[in-house]
Structure 1
Amino acid sequence: MLNKKPLSERDICTKFITPALVAAGWDIQKQVREEWSFTDGRIIVRGQKYTRGKQKRADYVLFYKSTMVAIIEAKDNNHSVGQGMQQAKEYADILDIPFVYSSNGNAFLEFDQTKVEQGGEVERELSLESFPSPEALWQRYATYKNLNSQQQEVVKEENHKDETGFAPRYYQQIAINRTIEAVARGDKRILLVMATGTGKTYTAFQIIWRLWKAKTVKRVLYLADRNILVDQTKTGDFRPFGSDIMTKIQNREVDKAYQIYFALYQGLTGTEEEKNIFKQFSPDFFDMVVVDECHRGSAKEESAWREVLTYFNAAVHVGLTATPKETKETSNITYFGEPTYTYSLKQGIDDGFLAPYKVVRISLNVDEGYRPEKGKKDRYGHEIEDRIYNTRDFDRNLVIDDRTKAAARKISEYLKLTDRMAKTIVFCVDTEHAERMRQALVNENSDMLQQYPNYVVRITGDDEIGKKELYNFTSVDEKEPVIATTSKLLTTGVDTKMVKVIALEAGIQSMTEFKQIIGRGTRLREDDGKVYFSIMDFRQVTNLFADPDFDGDPVVIYEPDNNQPPVPPEGKEGEGEGDDTDDPGREGPDDEPGTGRPRKYYVNDVAVKVINERVQYYGADGRLITESLKDYSRTKLLSEYASLDDFLVKWNVSERKEAIINELAEKGVLFEELQQEIGLDIDAFDLIAHIAFDRPPLSRKERAEQVKKRNYFEKYGTGAREVLQTLLDKYADEGISSLENTAVLNVRPLNQFGTPIEIVKRFGKKADFDKAINELEQELYRSA
């Protein structure tokens, strides 16, 4: 009998677990994903560089058609059969998988989530020969999901697969499967809440594709409220349907020969003539209506847009949003029901699918409150009302020219320090403010205009020239425009993949609008150099990050009373609640009707200066680090190392110090930023010892000099000594990673000694070279 104890975990998989699956009838190529990394690993920004955190990787995930039904965690034979169960259950919870297995090559331990609510035996041991077949597991799954045989046929329809083999991410697959199961069971109202940048449209395509292929839905209406959203969807994710299947309803023309229809709400409602467009279809014409960005007007009971949904009431309605709206007048949940699936911004960042952010909060002297002198007049001769004006008033009731210029100057300074070509959105109070901000930014960046005439543009709903630049601004390939000033047009829906800076120059109070604005920067474009984004806050808007509703579950505020519609809100629709209609604003002396006062006061003789600037970082727990980075890091380090001795032992026994640095960075210790805050040019070792244990630090150069003074290199031959001395100088300039990365042998000045192979030969064998580097590291920290 084969002795399994010496075998590696991979050997156990290859020799025992995989054969057991094959014997049970599983198709390894089509039904099994082995060693599947279902997350990418969180982006950890380190100064101008970044690393990735650990990926979540399942040893085996078993699929029945496009449904994940089981997960297996493997261990080597020196572990018990159930050793991997806890990790497997953790992953199964994330992946929405009911059947969980652990194996060490002797047997399987099964955990059956479907029996938890029923009571009874939830865990049992199975022999290798007794692993369930695909059909057996599927029937148990279908029973758990309450799917009859007819409904099962709907759910069995598989995802669309393109020629590249691109497959949905795990959370998209969960959203797709849950929605299709709900439709198969007869549910009529479905809400998917997925953070901006996580592929809601692609998810919707897969849902419609499978239901269409299963002939459960034959005709679909896809509703959006902007042409760019409709066009992006039709020519992008929905392209596999083909032009003979899809059409866009426009110019009041209706052709009933198609199966997938795209339409703007505005094109179907409004005047009686426009309403006649959707009423040319019979109420039962569509089997499904997909409501994109359903947090906007369609969520309002009294909205004209709701007429479309009411008219096609018999169809399945699927709402897509990153930010379900819950106010006294508006409720997505009341209309659609509880979300069928939610994938949050925090989850997206933790999984490495979305970009993390840092916040730069800037306070100006007038933001604490500006009160005009008695009898003071603005530049148009209006006497300014005597009261205290603050950030909620600026640019809405009172304009301070120097404040606009100061904000434009700080934004421009930040770009000059980081990246002059970083796509930037400046959110303003209204379109008039956006125009003044554009002018101020043009003046601050006049040196860029000769090469890039459209370096700064205003993109607002009332600016046709600016709107023509929207495509170029959102394009990954087009360099300009670089900076876009806007009011509401860019808050939501527009796919701004390369935006690296978001400047908040409007007093946003709506959580819905805030989430949508933050979503403009969350898209990750690693190959194009976009791995994080910055938020410049001039109005204390980022206080909303501390609100538990920021990334929490929505709470229903509006509950219908005896099916009575809610009372319509006062004021214009959507005001203060993330409505995306641009407020035009107005410049000049026009009076506010009926008041005798101007719409805005304009003051041009008030000096404005920055009084405080603070950088906050996205922490490992998904929250902004609000305390000092030094205090935050000290807490993190002391939770990792009980004492200085504990740290020194772990540092010295580690073969790669960079591994310790990366591990701590993943847990929220930001070394480069910390170094900037304390203002010392020291390496990670001294940062940890100094901050956590109050040890006086040595600079890298001081450590390198100590090694040289000890004549440490005398035991090596001339050739090896030259290499080590050069590496030591490299350490003094760049830090410990330069010693542990063999790529350093390819760059100056190391490459002057020859190729990496020739350099290694100076020490003898590769093992001799590695030993010399390891001893050099020990010598650097010997005094500790």
Structure 2
Amino acid sequence: MVNKKELSERDIENIFITPAIINAGWDLHKQIRQNVTLTPGPVIVRGEMSARNKKKKKFADYVLSWSPGTRIAVIESKDNNCTVSHGIQQALGYAEILGVPSAFSSNGDAFASHNKVPKAGEDIELEFPLENFPSPVELWERYKKLHNIKDKDEDLILQPYYSDGSNKEPRYYQVEAINRTIEAVANGQKRILLVMATGTGKTYTTFQIIWRLWKAKAVKRILFLVDRNILADQTLVNDFKPFGSVMTKIKNRKIDPSYEIHLGLYQALTGPDEFDKIYKSVSADFFDLIIIDECHRGSAAEDSSWREILDYFSNAVQIGLTATPKETEYASNITYFGEPVYTYSLKQGIQDGFLAPYKVVRIDIDKDIDGWIPPKGMVDDLGQEIQNRTFNQADFDRNLILNQRTKLVANRVMKLLNATNPYSKTIIFCENIDHAERMRKAIVNAAGKLATDNPKYVMRITGDSVEGKAELDNFIDPESKFPVIATTSDLMTTGVDAKTCKLIVLDKTINSMTIFKQIIGRGTRIDEENNKFFFTIMDFKKATLHFKDPDFDGEPVVIYNPGPDDDPVPPDPEDQDDDPDDKDDNTGQTGSKKIVVSGVPATIISERIEYLGDDGQLITESYKDFSRKQVQQEFTSLDDFLMKWNDANKKQVIIDLLEEHGVVLENLADLVGKEFGDFDLICHVAFGQPPLTRKERANNVKKRDYFTKYGEQAKAVLHGLLEMYADKGVTSIENAKVLKLKPFSDIGTPMEIIKNIFGGKENYENAVHELEDELFKKDITA
């Protein structure tokens, strides 16, 4: 008779839960997935150190699907020491992010159920025997009800995703974005808005949407509209590549009707003259589907041409993609497209662990904070008298150029890079093209040998620079070492997939929340292959105050209400923030030339480093402080820790547990001292105890009579283990494979040592455990 109380959670699944699901008609290989990782857990960054908080990883025990890509239920399993409904809240959390109506929990005795769409008179939550688990058809009907799927639309809804045969599959939020969009099309919605943070794979998501609609023959001809050549070219050869010969990029002033998938630039499709409006060369019903990438940019005055294209193809389904919905008193994407069918924010992406968190280095320069008043009669570098007024941060690098300030910024940037990695990809956002060029020169001088060894160490990548734009592909290519630093104004604000970018420098006045979000998005991609888990924002112009704005990552609110004669998305008013050109003369008045002054010193008067906290707010906290809090969450007191440490057969279990919280003991050793072992690092940082080095602990054991009960060969082995602990730490002696190394290999093989000297595996492991007890005897007082 099986005693359920003694079974593990996995045993409960294998013996009771899985058979019950299969008996209800579910296909084990096609419809049941176990141990499904939904999110990897957020990256914690403090100082230059980072680690994943695996305690916050989302991991579903079961995900049930009606067909591949159509998930309809989740089940959370628990061992039999828990109640039947113990895991239901956890299951509900997973059901919420997966957009499924059915959540279940089981301990092997029965099932607990939560149904978001109960029938009239039916309870939302109930419990039932194992043999009564719902059939696939029943749970599919629930899903259809939740998402308003009609029977006639099932073929479209269930159209398979594209697969290249690899194990790659869309992330949970991409599946949700794709499914919600397909469902909106099936329900006859013509205007659809999809909001996904930069770095979350909007183009891949778009490809799957188009693929499924196209394969299901819901649409035949598709136009993917972008506003930059590089976006079209990247899409053509990357995410959209499977379309192959049916896809083309619109060029040579011609829309070729022999293709079905068309990638086009606004600029290539229209212009100020009727001759430029080549979109009119095909009929208004030519395209069935139009995707507008970065649709927030479409409402800007210079980009307003997208509206006339959409108006012409008004019968087509139109899907707007953006990371930052445009919501001002003058413009609203939501007014045109409707409420987003799905939103995945930067905050959610960071909390899930799919996007890189940031730390902020805020730097205040004396002239920016205090302002600068030129002495009466002072002249600029051209000998022209400077207006006697207060110049402030808004003037610098627009009306007034203080060369020493530019030099100061460049030197501070290089100081950070040299202290971390001088080859970390860096983007410096400047006020305008002139400022970007001056910053490039200043970085060259500050970089010294790094710049002379390779003239492409720093490049100005702006719209007017042929040489700079030619290096853009190299900058974003992880395999290309150069350029390392790009100075820019507006060109790299959006659409540049620089996933290895580790440093963003803001020496630019940013009044627009939309532009700020786009700039921050340049650093949000995680690239594990190239060890990029977080990025740094160095802010010289108080731009990061936008992080404190509730609107930074909040829900967009429509504040533009068009009149009956207004355009659906009227142009924005001109914003100096987006204006690459200044019109200043040497008097500092509007419409004049810039004032250039070389001899005025500038000084950094304060710096502050802030990190992203659990609540998404910026906090000032060291890695030590963070680690102390995490350890104290797991262990209520020093005595509690000591008891669990000593009871652990292998200390690696405790170390792994702390790593799940984001506490990496190697990181603490870098801060406290590499001579200290894991035990002392934890006790010192978390509980304020004075640490002993590994060698001090080993010497304390040697002074005792501990070894006298062992024979000479056993003593030699234990002495060797003690020396290895002193050199490498406790985990190095817990694996029997260490016996293959010297000095143990001189004594015998691992098998000979364990069997002949210690009398078997159990005796050997007990001896190692006793050695650890001696090492960690209570030298520490609570």
Q: TM-score normalized by structure 2?
A: 0.89
Q: Do the aligned partners of 1:301 and 1:565 also contact (CA within 8 Å) in 2?
A: no
Match of 1:617 in 2: 611
193, 196, 220: which one pairs with 1:194?
196
Q: Do the aligned partners of 1:142 and 1:152 also contact (CA within 8 Å) in 2?
A: no
Distance 1:683 1:366, change over 3 A: farther
Q: Look up the SS of the partner of 2:290 in the other structure.
A: strand
Residue type matched to 1:155 in 2?
A: I
Residue type matched to 2:179 in 1?
A: N
Give matches, 1:457-536, under 5 Å. Answer: 457-536=459-538
1:284 paired to 2:278 = no
Q: Do the aligned partners of 1:77 and 1:104 also contact (CA within 8 Å) in 2?
A: yes
Match of 1:252 in 2: 253
Q: Distance in 2 between matches of 1:676 and 1:380?
A: 52
Structure 1 position 596, deviation (Å): 8.7
Q: Do the aligned partners of 1:60 and 1:72 also contact (CA within 8 Å) in 2?
A: yes
Q: Distance in 1 between matches of 2:593 and 2:509?
A: 18
Match of 1:293 in 2: 294
Q: Distance in 2 between matches of 1:747 and 1:407?
A: 52
Match of 1:730 in 2: 727
Structure 1 position 781, deviation (Å): 5.8
Match of 2:84 in 1: 81
Q: Distance in 2 between matches of 1:395 and 1:753?
A: 73
Q: Compare 32-41 and 363-372 and name the one that shifted more.
A: 363-372
Give matches, 1:233-272, under 5 Å. Answer: 233-243=235-245, 245-272=246-273
Q: Look up the SS of the partner of 2:618 in the other structure.
A: coil
Q: Do the aligned partners of 1:73 and 1:85 also contact (CA within 8 Å) in 2?
A: yes
Q: Do the aligned partners of 1:40 and 1:353 also contact (CA within 8 Å) in 2?
A: yes
Match of 2:381 in 1: 379
Match of 1:720 in 2: 717
Q: Distance in 1 between matches of 2:751 and 2:256?
A: 70
Q: Distance in 2 between matches of 1:488 and 1:754?
A: 68
Residue type matched to 2:411 in 1?
A: R
Match of 1:154 in 2: 156
Residue type matched to 2:150 in 1?
A: N
* 1:495-533 C-alpha deviation (Å, 9 max, x unpaired): 112111111111223221122111111111112222222
Match of 2:327 in 1: 326
Distance 1:269 1:131, change over 3 A: same
Q: Look up the SS of the partner of 1:519 in the other structure.
A: helix
Residue type matched to 2:552 in 1?
A: F
Distance 1:312 1:616, change over 3 A: same
Distance 1:570 1:212, change over 3 A: closer
Match of 1:41 in 2: 41
Q: Do the aligned partners of 1:404 and 1:436 also contact (CA within 8 Å) in 2?
A: yes
Q: Do the aligned partners of 2:611 and 2:621 also contact (CA within 8 Å) in 1?
A: no
Structure 1 position 452, deviation (Å): 2.8
Structure 1 position 403, deviation (Å): 1.6
Distance 1:469 1:44, change over 3 A: same
Residue type matched to 2:294 in 1?
A: E
Q: Compare 52-61 and 320-329 and name the one that shifted more.
A: 52-61
Q: Do the aligned partners of 1:720 and 1:763 also contact (CA within 8 Å) in 2?
A: no
Match of 2:32 in 1: 32
Structure 1 position 395, deviation (Å): 1.1
406, 428, 445: which one pairs with 2:430?
428
Q: Do the aligned partners of 1:620 and 1:666 also contact (CA within 8 Å) in 2?
A: no
Structure 1 position 677, deviation (Å): 8.0
* 1:84-135 C-alpha deviation (Å, 9 max, x unpaired): 222211211121111112233343332211129x663122334444333322
Q: Distance in 2 between matches of 1:354 and 1:766?
A: 45
Structure 1 position 630, deviation (Å): 6.4
Q: TM-score normalized by structure 1?
A: 0.88
Q: Distance in 1 between matches of 2:660 and 2:405?
A: 39
* 1:184-209 C-alpha deviation (Å, 9 max, x unpaired): 01111211111111111111111111
Q: Distance in 2 between matches of 1:624 and 1:755?
A: 55
Q: Look up the SS of the partner of 1:202 in the other structure.
A: helix
Q: Distance in 1 between matches of 2:411 and 2:375?
A: 27
* 1:758-777 C-alpha deviation (Å, 9 max, x unpaired): 99788775555654554455
Q: Look up the SS of the partner of 1:30 in the other structure.
A: coil
Distance 1:69 1:85, change over 3 A: same
Q: Distance in 2 between matches of 1:220 and 1:167?
A: 24
Q: Do the aligned partners of 1:364 and 1:612 also contact (CA within 8 Å) in 2?
A: yes
1:556 paired to 2:558 = yes
Q: Look up the SS of the partner of 1:396 in the other structure.
A: coil
Q: Distance in 2 between matches of 1:320 and 1:753?
A: 68
Distance 1:679 1:475, change over 3 A: same
Distance 1:592 1:706, change over 3 A: same
Match of 1:605 in 2: 599
Match of 1:93 in 2: 96
* 1:140-197 C-alpha deviation (Å, 9 max, x unpaired): 3223322222122221211111121421111100111111111101111211111111
Structure 1 position 542, deviation (Å): 2.0
Q: Distance in 2 between matches of 1:167 and 1:63?
A: 14
Q: Do the aligned partners of 2:197 and 2:323 also contact (CA within 8 Å) in 1?
A: yes
Q: Look up the SS of the partner of 1:207 in the other structure.
A: helix
Match of 2:122 in 1: 120
1:217 paired to 2:182 = no
Distance 1:48 1:704, change over 3 A: farther
Structure 1 position 322, deviation (Å): 1.2
Higher RCO structure (Cα 8 Å, ≥6 apart) = 2
Match of 2:174 in 1: 172
Structure 1 position 433, deviation (Å): 0.9
Q: Distance in 1 between matches of 2:557 and 2:302?
A: 18
Q: Do the aligned partners of 2:431 and 2:489 also contact (CA within 8 Å) in 1?
A: yes
Give matches, 1:8-19, under 5 Å. Answer: 8-19=8-19
Structure 1 position 362, deviation (Å): 2.5
What value does the CA root-mean-square deviation take over the aligned residues?
3.5
Give the paired residue count.
771
Distance 1:370 1:696, change over 3 A: same
Q: Distance in 2 between matches of 1:369 and 1:751?
A: 70
Distance 1:109 1:569, change over 3 A: closer
Structure 1 position 664, deviation (Å): 5.3
Q: Look up the SS of the partner of 1:171 in the other structure.
A: helix
Match of 2:22 in 1: 22
Match of 2:547 in 1: 545
Q: Compare 640-649 and 331-340 and name the one that shifted more.
A: 640-649
Q: Do the aligned partners of 1:432 and 1:585 also contact (CA within 8 Å) in 2?
A: no
Q: Compare 641-650 and 467-476 and name the one that shifted more.
A: 641-650
Q: Distance in 2 between matches of 1:618 and 1:483?
A: 25
Residue type matched to 1:270 in 2?
A: G
Q: Distance in 2 between matches of 1:185 and 1:13?
A: 39
Q: Distance in 1 between matches of 2:763 and 2:280?
A: 82
Q: Distance in 1 between matches of 2:636 and 2:321?
A: 47
Structure 1 position 238, deviation (Å): 1.3
Give matches, 1:530-679, under 5 Å. Answer: 530-562=532-564, 564-565=566-567, 572=574, 575-576=576-577, 579=578, 583-584=580-581, 595=589, 598-626=592-620, 642-654=636-648
Q: Compare 155-164 and 606-615 and name the one that shifted more.
A: 606-615
Structure 1 position 222, deviation (Å): 0.7
Distance 1:769 1:368, change over 3 A: farther
Distance 1:275 1:388, change over 3 A: same
Distance 1:694 1:26, change over 3 A: closer
Q: Distance in 1 between matches of 2:393 and 2:695?
A: 47
Q: Distance in 2 between matches of 1:567 and 1:207?
A: 25
Q: Distance in 2 between matches of 1:591 and 1:365?
A: 23
Residue type matched to 1:420 in 2?
A: P
Structure 1 position 710, deviation (Å): 5.0
5+ residue gaps, structure 2: none
